[in-house]
Amino acid sequence: MRILLVQSPTGRPEVPIFPIGLAFIAGQLSRHEISGLDLSLNNEYKTTLQEEIRTFNPDIVAISLRNIDDSSYPVTYSYIKPFTEIMKVLESWEGTVIAGGTGFSIYPELIMDQYPRIDYGIPGEGEIVFPELVDHIEKGTAIEGWSGGRILPWKQTDLSELSPPDYRFIDISRYCLPDAIGVQSRRGCAFRCTYCTYSYLSGSRFRERPVDRVVKDISELASLGVSRFQFVDSIFNVPEDYFEELLAALEEADCKLSWSAWIDENVTRKQLEKMKNAGAVKVDFSPDAITDKGLKRLGKRMRAADLLPAVRSAREVGLQVGVNFFNGNPGEGFWAFLKKIWFMLKVRLTLGWKSTFVNIGTIRVYAHSPLAGYMKQKGQVDEDCTFFEPVFYKICGPGDWLYRLFQRIRRLRHG
């Protein structure tokens, strides 16, 4: 069949992000004729889609809705409007429309209700169910566990069986910027951070891809002229034995690509050195809270005192460092916000202004996260709140005013 794989538009200019979710799906469709289209690269996304449909003439248009909104507070940008616009474009086309992606997966029922133009929705990982659905459409064969509604069952992929992602399904040269191209070595997350959706999306235990396959992906990127990528794994340094095995394989393969990864603070200086030797140039930490009380309430396994030594060690071995906090965590108020600002100034001034980055966001609460349940239980939102329209977990009063001022200054500086 002829399948057009479409990344939903952002609707405004943004740093391009290579659609790795679609690349994984494309990798499982070798029997079919594929074309890839990233509508977020283009302001004229409606006409671009029309034109591609006219020239490629697909049987199926498969759309990845990655994000619902940009999760920014107090000014939130929604990606739903451009998504609605392309749905309208598809109304005058007669083929099959299939939707999936992380944004879709958090709200499948709601999105299917809102967009009758979507024939089928596939929540969760798409590598098994999408090819099964294509077979079903082509030959009328049955899909296990599916009673025939518009939403198909979740099926987790066996990563040892998975064919590699197809990094060629779209022109990758448009994404040659730091962090824009992803490599995935594992899925799922065994931690229980209260605001997080990762375990809902891909399971509450780590599932690793065979190390040689990950190295093959990286060699493939090298052959495509890519010089830098990001590991998109939830936490790169757990499970520890897999982390060490992967680092050893990367060092041995000596692919000459630079990369970044999200890690947690339970990392030794020796491990950071190994990361550097294996090509790492940047690590990102997401402690999110800065006090032991706040960390505990977020379900984090670290202690507040672990953060600075980890950041310092990473800088000492020559890695750039990013640190992400939230303002207004459960158990943290105005003083914790000031502590975060102080931490930001301290690490940037002492560990390198241009190599140490600190971001302070606000928790955008998503459906299916423990925090969403907690807010309902405490009566902070209505019982029927879907969290589709953005809900933020924020403090009130001076901590909020100061945060808004801080965000306004950042917006004026960075646009």
Q: In the β-sheet with 96-100, what is the strand arrangement from edge to edge?
A: 33-38, 2-7, 60-64, 96-100, 120-121
Q: Which of 98, 100, 76 is nearest to 12 (CA)?
A: 76
Site string for ligand B12, 43-82 (x = CB under 6 A): -------------------xxx-xxx-xxx----------
Q: Which residues pair with 187 in a beta bridge?
A: 207
CB of 349 vs ligand B12, minimal distance in Å: 25
Least distance to ligand B12 from the beta carbon of 330, Å? 17
Least CB distance from residue 232 to ligand B12, whole Å?
Answer: 3
- Please, which residue, 4 or 275, has the CB nearer to ligand B12? 4
Is residue 263 involved in binding ligand B12 (CB under 6 A)? no
Least Å distance between CB 335 and ligand B12?
26
Rg (alpha carbons) of the chain, rounded to whole number = 22
130 is a contact residue toward ligand B12 (CB under 6 A): yes
Q: Which of 35, 96, 194, 234 binds ligand B12 (CB under 6 A)?
A: 234
Query: Rounded distance, CA 165 to CA 27, Å?
Result: 5
Cα separation values, 149 from 109, 112, 122, 143, 296, Å: 11, 11, 11, 12, 41
Does the protein bind ligand B12 through residue 14 (CB under 6 A)? yes
C-alpha 107/C-alpha 391 separation (Å) is 14
Please count the other Cβ atoms lying within 10 Å of the Cβ belonging to residue 112.
19
Give 371's Cβ-side CA count (13 Å radius): 21
Q: How far is the CB of 205 from ligand B12 (least distance, A)?
A: 14
Q: According to CB under 6 A, which one of 232, 247, 275, 344 is a site residue for ligand B12?
A: 232
Question: Which residues, other chains included, contact 220 with Cβ-Cβ below 8 Å and sequence gap of 6+?
Answer: 164, 167
CB of 13 to ligand B12, least distance (A): 11
Among residues 178 and 331, whose Cβ is nearest to ligand B12? Answer: 178
Tokens coding 105: 């997966």
Binding map of ligand B12 across residues 295-324, x = CB under 6 A, - = no contact: ------------------------------
Give the side-chain half-sphere CA count within 13 A for 277. 13
Give the binding range for ligand B12 (CB under 6 A) out of 194-202, 243-251, 351-359, 380-388.
Answer: 194-202
- In single-letter form, the type of residue at position 256 comes to K
Contact string 92-111 vs ligand B12 (x = CB under 6 A):
------xxxxxx-xx-----
Footprint of ligand B12 (CB under 6 A): 10, 14, 17-18, 20-22, 24-25, 62-64, 66-68, 70-72, 98-103, 105-106, 122, 125-127, 130, 179-182, 184, 197-198, 201-202, 230, 232, 234, 366
